[in-house]
């Protein structure tokens, strides 16, 4: 009996993946770049146990058992890693054993974050650990076939997913652009927005965009390659201003393509757009670009902000998007906001952590329109993080091959 | 003393005008096509009096006096028509007289409809009547310099505004595609949406799109020309299905371009998108395309629908977007809904004007999600209409050169 437990991060696209050139192999029509988020705040955790005594491959996701062997994406990942292990000369025996898998996210589904990316990355990474094979570009092609953006969650920091040109997808791999340590003060605030609408799934949405949008091909052919190059330059130079502008423009363009789809796909709502307005106004009044929004196929905002600017930005967000929530732990999740940057001298020389203390803050407040209460569900504060890693056995989600909760 | 009173219609773009190639001459970067709406429901009315006794050119818009001689767009229209009259050999005397102008819209500004198009069309048409010159393509180039889309309001039915290629704009003219009589059963429901947000003006928005959108040039060069040709074909063949699809796609693409602008311009809101969803679902459940939405630079929907389908569609709209308003005259404005199409036999052979009577209606109701109450302010029912016309003197808005209300 073999068992491993691993965790893998969520990633947020900066240059968006939207549209496949091959549905089953999950080959994208354009390159994308993402940032990996810290696993302390957001991660998938997976335990895989292999045993010669197991009769079937089984899997529990957040304690619900799935029909593993009928799930082609899961099976493709399992078979893909086993094939790779076989080539790498792993022990024949364990490769034939059936596996039991338990997987969980440490964040609520309600966050609307792409949990499948972290989940499939964790599955593929855990299988690789189980069979003792290294993290290679080829491994990313297997994660990609579980969920496209999962390939980007196999690395920390900033990651590029190459569209590739080969029909078999072997060159459609994820590759690190820069590590988390390269830009350690890159933080993120995730603004989780209340939204009850039914939305088009991203799989359906991107299919429909590829078929019906008359703008998408121009984006893919002419615009994305330059953006990818410019974003990599900005990341390498730690140039937040350029990074922010490309991030916001690409988020907007992705949603423009979704809107140019027929029937249109609309993922942002009025609150999302109020956040966009807020960020532009905030940047304008502070006189420099301190915040950059990006939105995936949902209404929640991810706001990139350097560590030293988090406290000020968060104070402004809380002013503009007031909440009735008095449960600070529930409402402000994740990393603590470092008090040193939150406290400023006021004119009396005393310290005060209110946003009202400085002239700059007064200016910001004057420009910002306070929104109705409770537009946000909660806020998660996290930062750039590392890739997946293996955990000690006391983190196992399985006991004797069954979920702990059973 | 000379005096004329005229009225001019509102027009709704089907292929959208967005972006200028010359700011002052108001030369667009692409052709557009619009439909002219009936003046009974929506129009501008203008009286112009010229007198050798007047000291200054003066103008009252909805009873507010403007600084006429400091308004370059108004002055350009006045001078333009006077120049044309001079060339056409009008009496020298009256051409030198100062004018007093009163103008009004018969619809509230809150409707968010492009009142400037009707207003400038009415101004230029009235000046032409005053000086006795005919309605020519050249006259449309003068209206265009007041407000771009005003040139389209000089004709009834379906109208194309050619972008033109000349630097002086003399070939950027409006031209009729088909008269109102060509497709007389083309009706429109305008759904006026509650919205309090501040929006970017369309002048500013289109400037910003031209400067920053990376998709707009592709739209202009590659997509609009084909759409223009296909739409003209659909109009000429009275092919509602094709007309509807092009209309909806171009509305979506215009808003996509606005969203691809930096910072983005967002004109539709959650209610607008709920209307979009409603229309697609309605068309899907009825099994054919009965309704086509289009949105200008604001949240209100214009829904094109053939006369014979108005009653059913309106019943569905009222079901999905319920109102507390009991003042039917206030809430349902414009043309009456013809009772013959509203009344259907139910299974007992009795007549019933409810939407619940037929299987098709039950199907529609099942698919449609009822929205919260009072998302719509009111609904205007109108149809394709004729161009401007002169009215009898008892319609005059001026008495002895001053507004009646003064």
Determine the distance in angstroms separating the CA of B66 from the nearest CA of chain A, rounded to an integer.
Answer: 30
Q: Is A381 helix (H, G, I), strand (E, B) or coil?
A: strand
CB contact B209 to A (< 8 Å): no
CB contact A253 to B (< 8 Å): yes
Residue in A226, A256, A267, A291 to test binding to B, most B beta-carbons within 10 Å: A256
Q: Has residue A349 got a pLDDT over 60?
A: no
Determine the distance in angstroms separating the CA of A219 from the nearest CA of chain B, rounded to an integer.
Answer: 7
For B81-140, write each residue's pLDDT tens digit: 999 999 988 766 789 999 999 999 988 765 567 689 999 999 999 999 999 999 999 999
8 Å CB contact between B353 and B343: yes
Q: Has residue A347 got a pLDDT over 50?
A: no
> CA-to-CA distance for B257 and A169, rounded, in angstroms?
32
More confident residue, B133 or B350: B133
Q: In the structure, what pLDDT confidence band is assigned to residue A344 with cuts at 50, 70 and 90?
A: very low
> CA-to-CA distance for B8 and B140, rounded, in angstroms?
13
Q: Is B197 helix (H, G, I), strand (E, B) or coil?
A: coil
CB contact B136 to A (< 8 Å): no
Scanning the structure block, which residue is given the tokens 């310290």?
Answer: A351
Q: Has residue A392 got a pLDDT over 80?
A: yes
- Residues A140 and A279 reside in one and the same domain: no
Determine the distance in angstroms separating the CA of A390 from the nearest CA of chain B, rounded to an integer.
Answer: 42
- Residues B22 and B156 reside in one and the same domain: yes
CB contact A248 to B (< 8 Å): yes
Give the lowest-confidence range in A100-109, A296-305, A387-396: A100-109
For the residues A154-159, what does the mean pLDDT come to? 98
Question: So what's the pLDDT on residue B196?
Answer: 73
Residues in A closer than 8 angstroms to B197, CB to CB, are 270
Contact A276 B270 (CB under 8 A): no
For the residues B139-146, what does the mean pLDDT come to? 98
Backbone torsion region of residue B7, taken as left when φ is above 0, otherwise alpha when ψ lies between -120 and 50, otherwise beta: beta
Contact B273 A257 (CB under 8 A): no
Percent of chain A with pLDDT over 90: 82
Q: Has residue A238 got a pLDDT over 60?
A: yes
Nearest residue to A57 via CA among A45, A72, A67: A67
As a whole number of Å, the end-to-end CA separation of chain B is 20
> CA-to-CA distance for A5 and A389, rounded, in angstroms?
9
Residues in B closer than 8 angstroms to A219, CB to CB, are 214-215
Contact A253 B223 (CB under 8 A): no
Give the lowest-confidence range in A322-331, B168-177, B244-253, B340-349: B340-349
The angle at the Cα of A381, spanning A380 to A382, to the nearest 5 degrees, equals 115
Residue in B247, B253, B254, B274 to test binding to A, most A beta-carbons within 10 Å: B253
- Residues B109 and B9 reside in one and the same domain: yes
- Residues B32 and B85 reside in one and the same domain: yes
Please give the ipTM for the structure prediction: 0.91
Helix or strand run (H / E) with residue A76? helix A72-87
8 Å CB contact between A177 and A229: no
For the residues A117-146, what does the mean pLDDT come to? 96
Residue in A closest to B222 by C-alpha: A214
- Residues B324 and B233 reside in one and the same domain: yes
CB contact A355 to B (< 8 Å): no
Q: In the structure, what pLDDT confidence band is assigned to residue A44 with cuts at 50, 70 and 90?
A: very high
Contact A276 B263 (CB under 8 A): yes
Residue in A205, A248, A259, A262 to test binding to B, most B beta-carbons within 10 Å: A259
Determine the distance in angstroms separating the CA of B209 from the nearest CA of chain A, rounded to an integer.
Answer: 12
- Residues B324 and B208 reside in one and the same domain: yes
CA distances from B111 to A243, A321, B272, B312, B378 (A): 40, 29, 14, 24, 9
Please count the structural domains in chain B: 2
At A5, list the tokens.
């437990």
Taking a contact as any Cβ pair under 8 Å apart, which residues of chain B between 331 and 350 contact chain A?
A: none
Question: So what's the pLDDT on residue A340?
Answer: 46
Question: So what's the pLDDT on residue A369?
Answer: 84
Give the lowest-confidence range in A226-235, B174-183, B198-207, B271-280: B198-207
Give the lowest-confidence range in A64-68, B82-86, B120-124, B362-366: B362-366
> CA-to-CA distance for A33 and A39, rounded, in angstroms?
19
Domain holding A285, by residue range, is 186-383
Contact A264 B276 (CB under 8 A): yes
Residues in B closer than 8 angstroms to A257, CB to CB, are 256
- Residues A256 and A162 reside in one and the same domain: no
Q: What is the DSSP secondary structure assignment for residue B222, as one 8-state letter?
A: I
Residues in A closer than 8 angstroms to B257, CB to CB, are 256
Residues in A closer than 8 angstroms to B285, CB to CB, are none
CB contact A373 to B (< 8 Å): no
8 Å CB contact between A152 and A34: yes
CB contact A264 to B (< 8 Å): yes
CB contact A270 to B (< 8 Å): yes
At B139, list the tokens.
């006259």
Q: Has residue B326 got a pLDDT over 80?
A: yes
Contact B249 A262 (CB under 8 A): yes
- Residues A13 and A120 reside in one and the same domain: yes
For A284-314, write each residue's pLDDT tens digit: 999 999 999 999 999 999 999 999 999 999 9
CB contact A280 to B (< 8 Å): yes
- Residues B205 and B313 reside in one and the same domain: yes
Give the lowest-confidence range in A59-68, A355-364, B81-90: A355-364
Taking a contact as any Cβ pair under 8 Å apart, which residues of chain A between 170 and 199 contact chain B?
A: 197
Concatenating the DSSP letter of every residue in A198-249 gives ----HHHHHHHHHHH-SSHHHIIIIIHHHHHHHHHHHHHTT-HHHHHHHHHH
- Residues A63 and A204 reside in one and the same domain: no
At A256, list the tokens.
């423009």
Residues in B closer than 8 angstroms to A221, CB to CB, are none
- Residues A317 and A347 reside in one and the same domain: yes
Q: Which of B248, B262, B277 sits opposite A249 (nearest CB)?
A: B262
Contact B280 A263 (CB under 8 A): yes
Give the lowest-confidence range in A50-54, A218-222, A348-352, B332-336: A348-352
The angle at the Cα of B314, spanning B308 to B320, to the nearest 5 degrees, equals 145
Nearest residue to A389 via CA among A42, A16, A135: A135
Q: Has residue B346 got a pLDDT over 60?
A: no
8 Å CB contact between B167 and B178: no
Question: So what's the pLDDT on residue B340?
Answer: 47
Residue in A closest to B278 by C-alpha: A263
Question: So what's the pLDDT on residue A359?
Answer: 61
Q: Is B51 helix (H, G, I), strand (E, B) or coil?
A: strand
More confident residue, B34 or B115: B34
> CA-to-CA distance for B136 and B38, rounded, in angstroms?
21
Domain of residue B12, CATH code: 3.30.230.10
Q: Has residue A89 got a pLDDT over 90?
A: no
Average pLDDT, chain A: 91
CA distances from B81 to A3, A217, B97, B137 (A): 87, 46, 13, 12
> CA-to-CA distance for B387 and B43, rounded, in angstroms?
10
Concatenating the DSSP letter of every residue in B109-162 gives GGG---HHHHHHHHHHHHHHHHTT----HHHHHHHHHH-GGGGGGGSSSEEEE-
Beta bridge mates, B235: none
Listed in sequence order, the DSSP H helices in A98-157 are 115-130, 137-144
Contact B259 A259 (CB under 8 A): yes
Q: Has residue B348 got a pLDDT over 70?
A: no
CB contact B215 to A (< 8 Å): yes
Helix or strand run (H / E) with residue A28? strand A27-28
Of all residues in chain B, what percent are helix, strand and coil, respectively (each to 5)? 40, 25, 35
Residues in B closer than 8 angstroms to A260, CB to CB, are 252-253, 256
Determine the distance in angstroms separating the CA of A280 from the nearest CA of chain B, rounded to an integer.
Answer: 7
Question: So what's the pLDDT on residue A339?
Answer: 62
Residues in A closer than 8 angstroms to B219, CB to CB, are 214-215
Q: Please give the interface size between A and B, counted as residue pairs whose CB atoms are below 8 Å apart.
A: 73
Domain of residue B222, CATH code: 3.30.70.890
Q: In the structure, what pLDDT confidence band is assigned to residue B200 with cuts at 50, 70 and 90?
A: confident
CB contact B242 to A (< 8 Å): no
Residue in A closest to B251 by C-alpha: A260
At A187, list the tokens.
């933080």
For A246-265, write each residue's pLDDT tens digit: 999 999 999 999 999 999 99
More confident residue, A159 or A349: A159
For the residues A93-114, what does the mean pLDDT come to? 83
Q: Which of A215, A218, A252 sits opposite B262 (nearest CB)?
A: A252
Q: Has residue B394 got a pLDDT over 60?
A: yes
8 Å CB contact between B177 and B230: no
More confident residue, B340 or B87: B87
Residue in A209, A212, A215, A241 to test binding to B, most B beta-carbons within 10 Å: A215
Listed in sequence order, the DSSP H helices in A262-369 are 270-286, 307-320, 328-331, 339-342, 359-367
- Residues B134 and B247 reside in one and the same domain: no
> CA-to-CA distance for A21 and A23, rounded, in angstroms?
7
Of all residues in chain A, what percent are helix, strand and coil, respectively (each to 5)? 40, 25, 35
């Amino acid at each position: 009996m073999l068992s491993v437990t691993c965790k893998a991060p969520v990633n947020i696209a900066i240059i968006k993946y939207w549209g496949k050139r091959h549905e089953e192999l999950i080959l994208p029509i354009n390159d994308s770049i993402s940032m990996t988020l810290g696993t302390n705040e957001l991660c998938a955790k997976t335990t895989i146990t292999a045993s010669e005594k197991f009769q079937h491959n089984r899997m529990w996701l957040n304690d619900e058992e799935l029909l593993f062997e009928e799930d082609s994406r899961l099976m493709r990942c399992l078979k893909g890693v086993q094939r790779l292990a076989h080539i790498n000369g792993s022990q024949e025996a364990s490769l034939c054993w059936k596996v039991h898998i338990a997987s969980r996210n440490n964040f609520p589904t309600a966050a609307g974050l792409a949990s499948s990316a972290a989940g499939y990355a964790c599955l593929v990474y855990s299988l690789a650990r189980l069979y003792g094979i290294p993290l290679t570009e080829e491994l990313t092609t297997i994660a990609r076939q579980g969920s496209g953006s999962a390939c980007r969650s196999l690395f920390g920091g900033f990651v590029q997913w190459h569209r590739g040109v080969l029909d078999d997808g072997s060159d459609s791999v994820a590759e690190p652009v820069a590590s988390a340590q390269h830009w350690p003060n890159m933080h993120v605030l995730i603004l989780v927005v209340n939204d009850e609408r039914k939305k088009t799934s991203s799989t359906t949405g991107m299919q429909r965009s590829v078929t019906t949008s008359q703008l998408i091909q121009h984006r893919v052919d002419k615009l994305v390659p330059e953006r990818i190059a410019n974003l990599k330059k900005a990341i390498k130079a730690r140039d937040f201003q350029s990074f922010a502008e490309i991030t916001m423009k690409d988020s907007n363009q992705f949603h423009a393509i979704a809107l140019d789809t027929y029937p249109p796909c609309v993922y942002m709502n009025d609150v999302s757009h109020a956040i966009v307005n807020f960020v532009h106004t905030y940047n304008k009044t502070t006189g420099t670009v301190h915040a950059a929004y990006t939105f995936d196929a949902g209404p929640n905002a991810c706001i990139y902000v350097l560590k030293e600017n988090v406290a000020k930005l968060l104070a402004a967000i809380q002013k503009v998007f007031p909440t009735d929530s008095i449960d600070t732990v529930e409402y402000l999740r994740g990393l603590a906001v470092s008090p040193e940057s939150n406290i400023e001298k006021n004119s009396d020389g005393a310290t005060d952590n209110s946003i009202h203390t400085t002239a700059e803050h007064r200016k910001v407040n004057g420009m910002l329109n306070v929104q109705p209460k409770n537009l946000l569900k909660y806020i998660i504060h996290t930062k750039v993080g590392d890739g997946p890693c293996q955990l000690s056995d006391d983190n196992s989600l399985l006991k004797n091959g069954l979920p702990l909760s059973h």
